[in-house]
Amino acid sequence: MQSPANPALNTAFHCENPRWQRRYEQALEGLAANVRLLPCYPRPVLQEGGMYQGIWLECGPHEGALYGEYDPQIARNNHEIFWDLAREDGFIPPFIRETPGDGQLQTVVPLAQTALECAQKLGQESLLARGYEACARYDAWLGQYRDSRGTGLVELHCEWDSGHDNSPRHAGLKQHCPGYDARQRDSLPALPLLAPDLSATKYLGRVALAQMARLLGRAGEEAMWLERAEALRQQILRLTFDADTGFFYDVDAQGRFVRVKGDAGLRVLMCRVPDEALFAQILSAHVLNPAEFWTPYPLASIAADEPGFNPGSVENSWGGASQALEALRAPLWLEFYQRFDVLEEIMRRWLEALMACDAFRQQMNPFNGAFNTTERYSPSMLVLTDFIARRHGVKYAENGILWGTASVPQSAAHSFETRIGGHRYRLEHQNGASSLWVDGRLAAVAQGAGRVLTDWQGRVREIYPTGVGRLVCQAAEETAAAACQKSLFDTLVDGRASSPATATLSSFR
């Protein structure tokens, strides 16, 4: 069922590169076409697109939060559909098509985290309150039905629990739970598996629940969620991290690691379980290893040196292909750990591949960038719009506003404008120089490629260079805006990133 999807877009991007401009417009057109009604719900939602008619818990709320930068109502709808169709016992459906699904978990990006983000961006406390109640009940459901071993971790029963279709991680497992009932599992020697990624999702969900409780004035519950979150984080590290190989794996019912290096371990990073030291270790040994995940078009969904690795000849394969969903989630962890240089390289390579393709498909060969699997796929379209916003525009961040100051290829000038939390943000870029505007006021000027973090009023907090040269930035006083523009970079002061590992992008090329 098609809904009348013609929103007054909240965000705009314009550049002088006709290919980039057209692909950006095609992505927005495709996303608007994927905003549809489902038979079991009265309001339109952004669906997955292509052969995936419906909305999935692992990605639909996250995608709604991103598309909400263009159509804020869809951000709300893509969350409330899961809460409205949740079961009485607290179970949230893994997908919704003609009817809600029941046969697996399929939870990846924590629903509480994206609900918190949307509530803050939209300024809607009612969204915060609804999300808090629904996600707290789901946390309890997971504890009741997916912790039979009493570890506190989330147990995996079937392939679709993780959304890792056609992955060697799940060799020998059935796709769904018996009787399409997520409370049940087959009688297999390996089951139940302790799943690091599902457990990490629950961990970060608890961190978000603590933040929600604080914003809702429930101080006692905030402390409870933080305590529970830390206890779970310690269990993930103790039970699913293999010190011999330095990676996270499933653990079978006999206590043995299922040593398949793949996206499951990367999702543990996405959910911020490792401290900075362990993260740096995993990043160096595995993520940036060309023999594993750091392929020419990263990130491979299974490490390239795994025996079961398949670079993408199988459609919908989490057995090696670089997935649009992986790319879309990369900012969630690389920005948290302040590895903007690594994120920049992922974004650059994905945009290169998407600009060279005439369709928006699900996955690509990690070695040659050739896409396959369906078309009009919402995550791929969002990768393009989101990465343009991060590199060349303005994005909401948990601790402020992030501005991207890189030049658009073959474009001397570009502009990006968006509304976040009642403020209007505009970035104007010309010949390597960027001006950052908040509510019509020049807030800062910058030269060089990277990311500038400001508060919501545009006061500069940190800068993160992502190129081989310097990124310099200076705040602009409102009364001296004209003078700042006249001699834009005569008085710019050097401001390097606080992260010790930035400005190392040249090593990736």
Does residue 421 come out as left (phi exceeding 0), alpha (psi in the -120 to 50 range) or beta?
left
β partners of residue 45? 36
Is the overall model pTM greater than 0.85, yes or no?
A: yes
One domain for residues 431 and 372:
no
Mean pLDDT of 427-443: 97
Contact 434, 455 (CB under 8 A): no
Residue finishing a domain among 345, 362, 392: 392
In a domain, 19, yes or no: no
Give the pLDDT score at 5.
37
Indicate whether 471 belongs to any domain.
Answer: yes
Residue 478: pLDDT above 60?
no
Burial annotation 303-334 (CB, 10 A radius, 16+ → b, else e): bbebeebbbbebebbbbbbbbbbbbbbbbbbb
Helix (H, G, I), strand (E, B) or coil at 498: coil
* Whether residues 127 and 249 fall in one domain: yes
- Statement to judge: residues 129 and 232 lie in one domain: yes
Residue numbers of the domain that contains 463: 402-508
Tens-place pLDDT, residues 241-269? 999 999 999 999 999 999 999 999 999 99
The per-residue DSSP string of 232-279 comes to HHHHHHHHHEETTTTEE-EE-TTS-EE---BHHHHHHHHTT-S-HHHH
**pLDDT at 300 exceeding the cut of 60:** yes
Average pLDDT estimate for 120-144: 96
Query: Please, what is the average pLDDT of the chain?
Result: 92
Domain boundary among 392, 427, 458: 392
At residue 8 the predicted structure's pLDDT band, cuts being 50, 70 and 90, is low
Which amino acid appears at position 51 of this protein? M
Q: Tell me: do 285 and 170 sit in the same domain.
A: no
In a domain, 368, yes or no: yes
pLDDT at residue 2, rounded to an integer: 36
Kindly report the number of other CB atoms within 10 A of residue 501's CB atom: 15
Do 407 and 487 sit in the same domain of this protein? yes
User: What digits encode the pLDDT tens for the residues 347-377?
Assistant: 999 999 999 999 999 999 999 999 999 999 9
